[in-house]
Structure 1
């Protein structure tokens, strides 16, 4: 009697593309492209979206370059996706430094047809400047902030995010906002398709922080504004619009943060970086307060809103 042998079908790896929007960071982009070139499993295509008002990016690397004429980071990503026929799109930015197995381990998760979004843990690198050291302390892109303890549905940042192309097209891609489009996309994908967000629990991505203190404070202020925008836009689907702290309390909190930062010694130590993170947190709260106040003004001007 002949013995039957069972063979498992070979699963085809989905065609993939990495999409990177960039504006004025050509030197940083080189590091991201070098990290992509060192992957154990390469992406099938790399699409760089030059979001400068006028085209200025010249690349020798074998990548496709499209131009979005200053449309903004999320509109740029939409154009990047439109330029490829990939089945899975991996998003990163010029500051992203994927570790060698990032593409391989990310694509493996899409073997489960119930998965529509995939990401992994991201480690923000440190450095010598105050902003770099504070960013290393803050670790704004770690999974526990997005998946383990989300303030609504789980989501992933676009510095380390992969989506199934059919799902992306089903919700017409990113909303063209300045900040917060990553959360909005992940939420709409989960609601519209019923597909899950899955994560590789290891650090597969590193991220190069801003090196100017002012830029880090502005980033946190912008995140505060977008946080309010997300709450407002999703309020009809169960997300509460939490009132901000009153201005006088924010002034007191900010003043205390400034005093504590000024007293932090030694200069260049971890204590100083931690105190600067507290100051950045105050900027986040001011951004939220500003967006809330603006929304209240719009409702007063237009009672039908």
Structure 2
């Protein structure tokens, strides 16, 4: 299934655009450092304040996140903006926190982003436009990199690591990352909510269940942009790709997705030999002549590290029985969302 590219005109005046009520759900865990910039991005949204509520779900943070959220709720009322502070402490999982937000939401369209993302001012307006088509159940916006300063951030930027274009081209079915995704509440009625104990891959799992079980279309709103920072250290980058490998294993178990080919000793020998004998000398000459920079020099070694980390994550991951569970929008055994104390 190919995602629909939204052709809604993005240069219309705001009052001529599609502006349905929308609930924005953001899970937060130890988000003290990110909250000030995130909140500034929410205050700067051009979406009519009367049509949107922001649900910030604390997932058992151990830093000053709860205090900052309480202050933000008070500030938002002064600004005429609806911000609700929710709490999910039973399950340590961003997917469980998102489910808490979904159950508390008052709107029929739900938008998702993350605490370390920076939604651009027209993000929400542009993300809503494809929903003018009643067959569209999911809309993915674009994720671009925040300006970086390290070689590894530039490496990831060249790879477009964060872009939704990779996930939208998935050979099984397209999907959007929850860093920038909107879903009709109606689409969740049959497919269910996120798997609360899944630690990675929940966005793909959700999008695939919705498309398979409800025959909903997924649209891509490229002009609905959030920014996200790349990993700046080798350990962070390695953990990111290890998580990608675990996700692939989990999705294989849940949906029969093909596993990534494991690199062999011959693969490593060939790539390292090619880098040492050909790529490195060429890059060194170009750097000396100011026709390249050090990212060109490290491209292959860092790429091989990512491949190895992803392979290891895929090989070592085991999907628990609990991670297979799906929560449902209307089910008596689940308690209502807990409003955080004032």
Q: Any stretches of 5+ residues in structure 2 without a counterpart?
A: 1-15, 77-82, 322-342
SS of aligned partner of 2:242: helix
Whole-Å separation in 2 of the counterparts to 1:258 and 1:34: 44
Residues 254, 282 of structure 1: 8 Å contact kept: no
Alignment of 1:179-194 (within 5 A): 179-194=200-215
Q: CA deviation at 1:23?
A: 1.1
Matching residue within 69, 74, 84 for 1:64: 84
State the partner residue of 2:60.
Answer: 52
CA contact (8 A) 1:130 1:268 kept: no
Corresponding residue to 1:164 among 184, 194, 210: 184
1:285 lines up with 2:285 in the alignment:
no
Q: Is the 8 A contact 1:15 1:86 kept in 2?
A: yes
Q: Distance in 2 between matches of 1:56 and 1:113?
A: 42
Residue 43 (structure 2) pairs with residue 37 (structure 1): yes
1:118 to partner: Cα distance: 0.4
Instruction: Using the TM superposition, name which of 197-206 and 266-275 deviates more.
Output: 266-275
Residues 204-231 of structure 1: CA distance to partner in whole angstroms, max 9, x if unpaired? 2221223332112101101111112102
Distance of 1:49 and 1:283 partners within structure 2 = 31
Answer whether contact 2:38 2:118 (CA < 8 A) is retained: yes
- Residue 153, structure 1, aligned to residue 173, structure 2: yes
Q: Is the 8 A contact 1:250 1:286 kept in 2?
A: no
- For residues 246 and 267 of structure 2, the distance between their equivalents in structure 1, rounded to whole angstroms, comes to 15
Q: Which residue of 2 aligns with 1:6?
A: none
Give the TM-score normalised by structure 1.
0.80
Q: Distance in 2 between matches of 1:254 and 1:50?
A: 44
Range that drifts further, 17-26 or 260-269: 260-269
- Root mean square deviation, CA, Å: 3.1
Gaps of 5+ in 1: 1-9, 299-305
Shift of the 252–178 alpha-carbon distance from structure 1 to 2, 3 Å rule, reads farther
Report the secondary structure of 2:33's partner residue.
helix
1:13 to 14, 19, 23: 19
- Inter-CA distance 258–279: structure 2 relative to 1 (3 Å threshold): farther
- Greater mean deviation of Cα atoms: 257-266 or 177-186: 257-266
Q: Describe the shift of the 1:36–1:282 C-alpha distance in structure 2 as closer, same or farther (beyond 3 A).
A: same
The 1:49/1:208 distance shift into structure 2, 3 A limit, reads same
Partner of 1:173: 193
> How many residues matched?
280
1:145 is displaced (CA, Å) by: 0.6
2:299 alignment partner in structure 1: 274
After the TM superposition, which residues 5-154 of structure 1 pair with which residues of structure 2 at under 5 Å, given as runs? 13-42=19-48, 44-52=52-60, 56-57=64-65, 58=67, 59=69, 60-61=71-72, 62=76, 63-69=83-89, 71-147=92-168, 149-154=169-174
The change in CA–CA distance for 1:25 and 1:252 in structure 2 (over 3 A counts) is: farther
TM-score by length of 2: 0.72
Q: 1 or 2 for the larger relative contact order (CA 8 Å, sep ≥6)?
A: 2
2:9 aligns with none
SS of the counterpart of 2:137?
strand
| Distance 1:215-1:254 versus aligned 2 partners, 3 A rule | farther
- Using the TM superposition, give the Cα deviation of residue 133 of structure 1 relative to its aligned residue in structure 2, in angstroms: 2.5
